[in-house]
Amino acid sequence: TAVLQMHLTIEEAVFAATRGAARIVGRDEGSDAVGVIAPGSRADLQMLDAPSIAHLAYRPGVPLTAAVWRGGHAVVPAP
């Protein structure tokens, strides 16, 4: 993982996978912005069920998805 192999902090790895990735492809601003939770954004997001953010880095392969929204609509409802 980026945390274990590249020595990023967990926060840096989450940024790189979300807002940072959107910035690289030029989609971090305007009406088609992705990688953020903000008014007017697409609302494509995944909610994870983990006791702490550290589980994202140190528990690879463990299913943590609790819910998924695409275009503002739940496609995998929360339990």
DSSP string across 48-71: E--SSTTHHHHSTT---EEEEEET
Instruction: Examine the pLDDT at 72 and tell me if it is beyond 90.
Output: no
- Whether this model's pTM surpasses 0.85: no
Residues 5-21 have pLDDT tens digits of 889 998 898 888 888 88
- The rounded distance, in Å, linking the Cα atoms of 53 and 56 is 6
Instruction: Examine the pLDDT at 37 and tell me if it is beyond 90.
Output: no
Compute CA 28 distance to the chain's CA centroid, rounded to the nearest angstrom: 14
Tokens standing for 42?
């697409």
